[in-house]
Amino acid sequence: MPSQLRPLLTRLPQILLISAALVLMLRTDRFFTPGTLASILTQASIVGVLAIGQTFVLIGGGFDLSQGAMLALTAAVVAHLAQWTGSGPACMAAALAVGLALGALNGFFVAVVRTNPFVTTLSSLLIYRGAAFIALGGQPFANIRVFQAIDAGFKIKMRMGDTYLPYRGLIFLVVTLLAWITLRRSVFGQHIYALGGNAEAARLAGVRTVRLRVATFALSGLATGVATVLYLSWVRVSKADTGTGFEFDSIAACVVGGVSLQGGRGSVVGAAAGCLLLQALRTQITMSGFPEEYRTLVTGLVILTFAAADALARRSERA
């Protein structure tokens, strides 16, 4: 294969997906309106923040399947704390601290005990989901209003018409910017790329790989804490099945955005763009009147297609 064509072929799934999405969007009259575009950004914010955390883990050569269950357990803890204190700042600090601790626990088993990331986070998915059920007593916990201010927003004046943007969308953009600076403009971020590219070479070069791997999972947990705040500001209900499937949505957003499932490659900007693209596709599916199950089908196909493309691209490079 000519070397000039390799970069284009490795991006072929993204090109085809973007082309298909554009065709579908252009066929819908109501799609390119300020209201619809603002809605896509807002609806993508929760999974988008999870995808940012997932990006750190994937680039570092790991895998986090526990994000959805972690969100459910964190929301259950916040629900009880909200009932006891009614304090928004205390609940927000608790959400971030619980998410960070649960993520670091995953990292401890992967980096220190050296269990497989897939087995570790699959196990913690079951543990966190069960713990959320016990914490809530199997009953939904409604009317959680400590974060309702975040569900407010501001009006944007545009040529096509005014639109209303909730703060959730703005927080998603700010988190993306901070994560991009961390990964691209810091030694810490460059070490994560080195860890995912070749962990043994990174260790021999002086990188503290154990500590760094724990940090990537802890950041995924911290992102889950932020996503919990955004979720409760919107839904205001905590249930044991909260966040089911969010981990697959975040992984799909990452692979669509060019983050390698084999580590060492990708960017948070790509993951955020992938999340927005998938949300646009889902919005299009909903506006076209297709059942909800089509969204699940699309997510599964996207993960499989992009994972295969990534594996083939790696194999082509080694050939």
List pLDDT tens digits, range 45-98.
Answer: 999 999 999 999 999 999 899 999 999 999 999 999 999 988 899 999 999 999
Please determine, for residue 280, whether its predicted confidence score (pLDDT) is greater than 90: no
Percent of the chain clearing pLDDT 70 (strictly above) = 86
| pLDDT the model gives residue 256 | 84
3-state secondary structure of 28: coil
Residue listed under structure tokens 């357990």 = 73
Burial 34-49 (b: 16+ CB within 10 A, else e): bebbbbbbbbbbbbbb
Of residues 207, 181, 224, 204, the one with CA closest to residue 46: 224
Tell whether the model's pLDDT for residue 2 goes beyond 60: no
Say which CATH topology domain 35-303 has: ABC transporter involved in vitamin B12 uptake, BtuC (1.10.3470)
Of 194, 214, 213, 193, the residue nearest 204 (C-alpha): 194
- Return the pLDDT at 65: 95
Sequence-ordered list of residues with C-beta below 8 angstroms from that of 266, at least 6 positions apart, any chain: 55, 58, 59, 254, 257, 258, 259, 260
Span 299-312, average pLDDT:
76
Provide the sign of the torsion angle of the four alpha carbons 209, 210, 213, 214, taken in this order.
negative
In the predicted model, is pLDDT for residue 1 greater than 60? no
CA distance 189 to 183: 4
In tens, the pLDDT along 152-193 reads 877 777 666 677 788 898 999 999 999 999 999 999 999 999
Answer whether 243's CB lies under 8 Å from 231's CB: yes
Mean pLDDT throughout 140-146? 90
Left, alpha or beta for 258 (phi > 0: left; psi -120 to 50: alpha)?
left
For residue 74, what are the CA distances in angstroms to 20, 159, 216, 223? 37, 41, 19, 12
